[in-house]
Amino acid sequence: MQDLTNAMAEMMEDEVLALTDKYLAEGKPPQAILDAFQAGMAEIGKRYEAGEYFVAELIMAGEMMNAGSEKIKPHLKGGPQAGPSKGRVLVATVQGDIHDIGKNIAVTIMELAGYEVKNLGEDVPTATIIEEVKAWKPKMVGLSGLLTLAYDPMKAVVDGLKEAGLRDSVKVLLGGGQIDDYVLKFTGADVYANDAMANVTYLNGLK
């Protein structure tokens, strides 16, 4: 499915959707189509880092990914990935940050992998996240943030979970291109991921 990956990387939205329809009609595995999307997104990320693509391309890429994923979802029903939810995941872009492209892609990937995901949106207050964890009882909280100013709110969420007596019952994953081992240690979270598939890999390894 290299043609699908190439179409994604070249921002050819109509071609991406047409090829998605074609491969689904041919009975290709939905996961294989999703893998082609991911490969295209990886190439887009490389071009962005190289200064060839800009924020506008990232936004368009997110829209293409979402549109293609909507076509795939119905084909997963009754398939090998269908069935009961693998668990609940709460996600939010933390207070002070409004970036949502990476988070929304991660949400789509986790949903396609069989997880029930509640997306609280962007610029979400710490107290709101804590209350949602208390009420909804997810197995993992995904905190997204692209800016360095997101680090303090991420730490505040982890600290708030401790104060509420919830920390031992939920894993905290950080997402964002700037997240590294230093930020993980600073916030007290469990793990960080720089790509959407890493979220699923971590979730699949949880008991």
The CATH number assigned to the domain with range 2-76 reads 1.10.1240.10
Structure tokens at 80: 């090998």
Question: What superfamily would CATH give domain 88-204?
Answer: Cobalamin-binding domain (3.40.50.280)
The boundaries of every CATH 3.40.50.280 domain in the chain are: 88-204
Q: Which residue has the higher pLDDT, 187 or 203?
A: 187
pLDDT digits (tens, 9 = 90+) for 37-60: 878 887 887 888 788 988 788 778
pLDDT digits (tens, 9 = 90+) for 165-202: 999 999 999 998 789 999 999 999 999 987 776 788 88
The boundaries of every CATH 1.10.1240.10 domain in the chain are: 2-76
Determine the pLDDT at residue 22: 96
Residue pair 12/48 in contact by the 8 Å Cβ criterion: no
Q: What burial class does residue 97 get, using C-beta atoms within 10 Å of its C-beta: 0-12 exposed, 13-18 middle, 19+ buried?
A: buried
Mean pLDDT of 138-160: 95
Determine the pLDDT at residue 78: 47
Q: Is the pLDDT of residue 126 over 70?
A: yes
Q: Is the pLDDT of residue 72 over 90?
A: no
Give the model's confidence band at 133: pLDDT under 50 very low, under 70 low, under 90 confident, else very high. very high
Give the model's confidence band at 23: pLDDT under 50 very low, under 70 low, under 90 confident, else very high. very high
Please tell me the distance from the alpha carbon of residue 178 to that of residue 193, in angstroms, as a whole number.
10
Q: Which residue has the higher pLDDT, 106 or 21?
A: 21
Burial profile 171-190: b = 16 or more Cβ within 10 angstroms, e = fewer: bbbbbbeebeeebbeebebb
